Amino acid sequence: MSENFQYSKPRWQVLEDKKVCKTTIFSVHQLKLQPEKKKETADFFLLKAPEWTNVIALTPENQIVLVEQYRAGIHASSLEIPGGVVDPGEEPLQAAKRELLEETGFRSTHWKKIGKTSSNPAIFTNYTHVYLAEKCEKIQDQQPDSNEDIRVHQMSVDEFLNLVKNGTVHHAIVLAAVAQFLLMENIPSD
């Protein structure tokens, strides 16, 4: 079996891209697309968003650092790994380091990129860059954004994986990061 996959479906032609709404987080676009070799067109709505980053942060004792925060979409709290938006002009690794420090007060000098996830390719235009931060140490109090109310948790990786297994951890992008973490082999350090 090949480790590389060759995509065979061509891109559809963009006939129109109309911005419908702009928010502080994303913009909504209505696209009129035409598949190759077809006359029919199709309308799609996309959310154009900046790149995101997520961090699997491990302490020297192999405890994973997690964040619990309220999520308006499900109107409930969610247990997640630290992460957030890559700011304009910022590289994903810089954003990962900044988000880890802001959300948890932890810092690491041992970083590896373990993957890139298409957040939801049906409607989102962005990717989430996933990093492993090892030997994380708490160096300051957390400094969350004004709209964040975060509680930091630490537990063993096995305890965390049990919470993934039983559905307590349910955020799709976090689950993708967990899969990349569990599948990683010989990943070069950044």
Segments making up each domain of the chain, as ranges: 13-48, 52-183
pTM above 0.85, yes or no: yes
Do residues 163 and 44 lie in contact, with contact meaning Cβ atoms separated by under 8 Å?
no
Q: Give me the tens of pLDDT residue by residue for the chain, a chain 190 residues long.
A: 457 899 888 889 999 999 999 999 899 999 999 998 888 999 999 999 999 999 999 999 999 999 999 999 999 999 999 999 999 999 999 999 999 999 999 999 999 999 999 989 999 999 999 999 999 999 999 888 888 889 999 999 999 999 999 999 999 999 999 999 999 865 444 4
Kindly state the tokens that stand for 105: 């007060």
**Measured in Å, how far apart are the chain's first and last C-alpha atoms?**
29
Residue identified by tokens 């957030």 is 84
pLDDT at 2: 54
Residue identified by tokens 């993957």 is 115
CATH code of the domain occupying 52-183: 3.90.79.10
Distance CA 103, CA 94 (A): 14
User: Residue 144 is inside which H or E element, if any?
Assistant: none
Rg of the chain (C-alpha set): 19
